[in-house]
Amino acid sequence: MKDDKYYLDLEAKGHFDTLDKRSKEYREYKEWKSYNKVQDNVKDANTVGLGDVVEAVTKATGIKKVVESITDDCGCDERKKKLNKVPLWKRTKVNCIEQDDYVWLKALLRTNPKKFKYENRKRIVLVYNRIFNTKVKNTSCYSCIRGYLDNLKRYLEVYES
């Protein structure tokens, strides 16, 4: 994939609006755009608190009582539910996925493999460790690798939304 400046320049000129949607260049542009969206969401997600934490802070500071005395429904419950849907691993610092790993992982998830070759297992563990700051080891256990892959899939779902 080309660098960001290349895509930003062409995007500013409206080049991709006139491009055939089936072309390789357009697919690469869409992957780049999707990847950048994930990066932005990762940066935002690491600074956002979760529902229970926000509720605890507002209770401790007395903000919750003040808001409840002023209004009947401030939307706190909906906000808390929405924040609590975020997976538990998001409470810790999560790194952004690298661009080549993102493209590779999206391609792997499209195939939905039932068996994993050694190279794929090795790369899944490598990507998993980079993103979640863990030190899990490569294994031939299908359910372990599947679990790592499922966590990576949830990671992409959260950050692509």
Please tell me the number of Cα atoms within 13 Å of 88 on its side-chain side. Answer: 0
Q: What is the pLDDT of residue 124?
A: 94
**Taking the domains of the chain in order of start, what are their residue ranges?**
4-45, 51-85, 99-160
Q: What is the pLDDT of residue 60?
A: 76
Q: What is the pLDDT of residue 19?
A: 76
Q: Residue 88 and residue 86: Cα distance in Å, rounded?
A: 7
% of the chain exceeding 70 in pLDDT:
81
pLDDT of residue 22 exceeding 70: yes
Please tell me the number of Cα atoms within 13 Å of 146 on its side-chain side. Answer: 7
Summarize pLDDT for 74-130 with one digit per residue, the tens: 777 777 777 666 555 445 677 888 889 999 999 999 988 888 899 999 999 999 999
pTM of the model: 0.49
Q: What is the pLDDT of residue 46?
A: 47
Largest interatomic CA distance in the chain: 60
